[in-house]
Amino acid sequence: MGSGATDDADMVKLNVKVPKGLLEEIDELAAELEYTNRSEFVREVLRDTTEPILTPGAQEGVSEGYADVAAGRTMSSDEARERLGIDRD
């Protein structure tokens, strides 16, 4: 799953205490997403948090999009094509 594979020589052990319920959720998600083990899953979550895929501007755009949907400011794909002058064929 993870894209940031690192040689074991570069790894440092990190011990973290979490509530039992959270550990159960981590294990369920790791299994559901087919991670080899819990550590691999947690590493990827930490990596995604510290190295976000989206820039702050892109994150803002996504948030605005969700707000538009929540406010009902949407259109069908057919309406969008018509508005942009794109033929469906």
Domain that holds residue 65: 16-84
- Evaluate whether residue 5 is within a structural domain: no
In a domain, 6, yes or no: no
Give the pLDDT of residue 5: 59
Number of folded domains that form the chain: 1
What residue type is assigned to position 57 of the chain? G
* Residue 65 falls inside a structural domain: yes
Quick one: pLDDT at residue 66?
95
Which pLDDT score, from 0 to 100, does residue 54 have? 86
Q: Residue 30: CB partners within 8 Å, gap ≥ 6?
A: 37, 38, 40, 41
On whether the CB atoms of residues 9 and 25 are closer than 8 A, the answer is: no
Low-confidence ranges of the chain (pLDDT < 50): 2-3
Q: Which tens digits make up the pLDDT trace of 28-52?
A: 999 999 999 999 999 999 998 898 8
Task: Give the Cα separation of 20 and 68 in Å (integer).
Answer: 38
Is residue 1 in some structural domain? Answer: no
pTM of the model: 0.53
